[in-house]
Structure 1
Amino acid sequence: MADTRRAWEVVLETIETELLSGRLKPGDHLPPERTLAADLRVGRSSVREAIRVLEVLGLVRTATGSGPHSGAIIVATPSGGMSALMRLQVAAQGFPVADVVRTRLLLETAVAADLAERADASGASAELEAATQLLDAMDSPSLTQPEFLALDAQFHVALAEASENQVVTAMMAGLRNSIEGYVLAGAPALPDWDATVTRLRHEHRGILSAIEAADVALARTRIHDHITGYYAESHLTGPSAHPLSLPETT
C-alpha cells in the first residue's frame, strides 16, 4: 500500500521515534542533512522542513556552518500537545524579561520545594532521571554556548515535568523559548563565559542534590539564587525592572 505521508512527515516521525525510544537524547547531534536524506530516501528540503518543525517545538537547536558544531542538536524530548501549543503561542509574542524571571521564580521555587518534599533522602528518584541526564549532557566540553543554554533551559523544564503537575509543566514548557531567548541575549555581557558555565554546572548539581536530600528550604534558595544570579550577571536588569524577591510560602 502506498505511503500517503509527505516526505517531511516521514523524517519528522523517524526522528520523533528515535527521541521517544531513547536512541536519540538531549546533547546528541542529528546526522547531517545529506545522511538523513539518503537514509530515508527523501530530498534534503524535506529534511530541512522537518528540522524546522522540531526547532519550533523546542526539541532541537540548529547552527549554520560546516564545523563540528554545525547542524542540529537535540535539546529536549517530545512532550504533550498542550505544551507544544503554549510554546507556539509564546513564540508569537515577546514577554518582558523581568516578567519572565518573576514568573520563573514563582513557578520554579514552588517546583523545587514540592520535589524536595516528596524526595527520598537516600537518593535520586526516577522522576529526576531526565534532569540528571541533561546535566550529564551539559558536562560535555564540546558544547557551544547556544547549545549549553538550550540544554540549560530544558533542565528547568525537566524539573517541572518531574513534579507531575501538568499545568505547571505546560507553563514552563510554554515559557521555555522566552527563557532560552533571554539567557542567550544576556550571554555577550558575561565577563567570563568559562567561569559562568562552571558556576552554572555547579549550581545545577546543587539544586538537584538539595531536592534529593529532601531539603525544602535549601532547594528553594538554590534555585532562586541560580535564576536571579544569571539575570544580574548578564546585566539584564534595568532601572524599570521590578525588584526580584523569593516568593513567600504559606
Structure 2
Amino acid sequence: MEDDSKGAVGLDLIPQLSLDCVIFGFHDGLLKILLLRWKETEEWSLPGGIVLQRESVDDAANRVLMERTGLTEIFLKQFHTFGDLHRYDKKELQDKLGHVISTEHWYDRAVSIGYFALVDYAMVFPNPDKYTDECKWVDLKEVPKLLFDHNAILEKAIQSLRRELSFQPLGYNLLPEKFTMPELMRLYEAVLDKKIDPRNFQKKILKSGIVIRLEEVKRGLAHKSPFLYRFDKERYEEVLEDGGLFFV
C-alpha cells in the first residue's frame, strides 16, 4: 500500500493501486498461510505489492508471489477488490512502522486487489521483502492480529476458497505428487474446518476418477501402511469443467 514512486526506487507504478496475496499451503494436516514480519517489529501482514504501468494485475501478482516463494508456476485466483474509504489508520502505522516507512509514503486511500494462491508447501522458499525481516508459514488457526485490514482480507479469501472448493484444483496444487487418501481427506477437512466421513469421501473420490492408486505404500507409519495415489490431471480438469467435485 505504500507509494514507492516517492522513494528512491522511482518505479513507474499505477498510483493508489496495490495487491494483497493470501498464499495457502498444506503441511502435517494443517492449512498454512505465508506471512511477513516487518523490520524490527512483531507486526505481521500478508505479502503484497504494487502494480507497474507496464504489467497486467495478474502479472504483478505472479511477480510478487515469485519474489516471496521462489515459484514461477503458481495457481492464482483473484477473489475480491478491497476499496473501502478508510482501510487503515495512518497514525497507527506511524507508531508501528514509522521507522521503516514514513507516513508521507502511505496513500490516504488505496484500492487493493486480493488474490489467493495454492502452492506445494515443500516447494516454497519463503523470502522477505525489503521492508520485512521474516517470511514464514503460520497455521491458519494461529494467525495473529495483522496490520492494515489483512485479517479481513484473509477471512474473505478463506470464504472464497470454501465457496469454490468443488471447482478449484485444490488437491493438485496443495499436495505433493504422491499422497495417501487420508492426507487428501485431511486437506479438505482443514479448508472446511469440519470432519468428513472417510468411507464416503474415499468412495466418491475413487468414483470421480481423478486419482490413480499406485503400487506403493507410505512407509514409516505406526499403523498399516496406506497406498499412495497421484492425480490424473487430465481427468481432474475434465471433472472440474463438467461441473465440479460435489462430495463434501
TM over 0.5: no
> TM-score of the superposition, structure 1-length normalised?
0.27
Larger CA Rg, structure 1 vs 2: 2
> TM-score of the superposition, structure 2-length normalised?
0.27
Larger relative strand fraction: 2
